[in-house]
Amino acid sequence: MIYINGRFLQKPITGTERFAREIVQAMDTLAGLTNLKDAITILAPPGTPAPEGLKNIKFQTCGTRQGHAWEQWDLYRAASDGTLLSLTNSGPVLHPHQTVIIHDVAPYRMPKDFSLSYQAFHRILGRLLAKRSQIATVSKFSSSDLAAVLSLDSERIPVFYNGHEHILRAPSDDMVIEKLGLQDRPYFLFIGSPAPRKNLGMAIKAFRALKRSDIAFVIVGAANPKVFRESLDAQAENILMPGRLTDGEIVALYQHALALVFPSLYEGFGIPPLEAMVHGCPVLAADIPAVREVCGDAALYFSAQDTADCTRCLQSFLDDPDMGETLRQKGATRYAEFSWSKSAEQVLERLFDSKLQGKSISQ
């Protein structure tokens, strides 16, 4: 029996939770095409609502605890007779047959992004899991980074990439363009959180250095816009902070933007550039390993540490009337290489240690 750690179902959807939900949905489809129906069960803490749309993967709650206590004890006991798959950075350290997907080593590389207690807990947890479990991750860069930090062999850390299909399912909500007053106004777009590693403050300074009041910078994220704006010194009429938006609104913004600006200092993968390419939005990105791995030659790069270089990149893009179409064409080819279906197939083949009878849902 294969069990899936369902604690992610209780959390808001960020990058890691998106990965977990999409991999499970794709695994469910694949299970229906093979002999794996009812061979996989999601185990979740009490009170967790069942995920919608699953036809072949079973779901049940177990135990009495919540949070890490549930994961370390209740989940361990409930999954003790099978193989466990934990998709979002943590799992029960005592389980002897577990694959844990650790998306990056940000608590080690970017400690300022986390509280001291969070850093300490996840550093200890990561090292314990590295000794007891099969570690996997979401990019070759993260595989090398995990190997360096946790003293592992990178060749023994499988890579299961993020995919693109989720952003195709969201219908474009063009009302957001009118709501933000962008009908006749070109704009650059940022999608992300306020974490320091996302490097938004540098991108704002680079944008302001353009001195283009006719162009807006739209910043989409979950932070309180008022607090965020003040902390980033973003007091300008052409810097818009609408806060968290729906997938449909984000799709519309991708489709109408001049380009996505992705200035991160550190990423394990980086989903926004992939989503942007799906919807024909050119990508201007920080030149860091994980983003290079995802975007290849389908992005225009700048130094994440150099505000002037970011400004030069934005200006270069504006000055070249053909650059946008070139990046769109390259992105349209690039994004198809990253598929939830393909990654789910690879996960199942590893868990069951065999090819899935020639069945495939990869595109």
pLDDT grade, residue 235 (50/70/90)?
low
The CATH code of the domain at 172-337 is 3.40.50.2000
Locate CATH 3.40.50.2000 in the chain: 2-163+339-352, 172-337
Q: What is the pLDDT of residue 167?
A: 95
Dihedrals φ, ψ of 285, to 5°? Answer: -135, 155
β-sheet with 216-220: strand ranges across: 239-243, 216-220, 187-191, 259-262, 283-286, 300-302
Are 264 and 198 spatial neighbours (Cβ–Cβ below 8 Å)?
yes
* Residue 99 DSSP code: E
Nearest to 262 by CA among 287, 242, 245: 287
pLDDT tens for each residue of 67-97: 999 999 999 999 999 999 999 999 999 999 9
Tokens of 59: 């779901």
Nearest to 122 by CA among 130, 16, 279, 268: 130
pLDDT tens for each residue of 38-69: 899 999 999 999 999 999 999 999 999 999 99
Q: What is the pLDDT of residue 120?
A: 93
Please name the residues in contact with 28: beta carbons below 8 A apart, sequence gap of 6 or more. Answer: 53, 54, 55, 56, 57
Does the pTM of the predicted model rise above 0.85?
A: yes
Tokens of 270: 């980086």
- Min mean pLDDT across 10-14, 242-246, 289-293, 358-362 is at 358-362
Are 110 and 124 spatial neighbours (Cβ–Cβ below 8 Å)?
no
CA torsion angle 29 30 33 36 (round to 10): -110
CATH topology of domain 2-163+339-352: Rossmann fold (3.40.50)
Predicted confidence (pLDDT) at residue 307 exceeds the cutoff of 90: yes
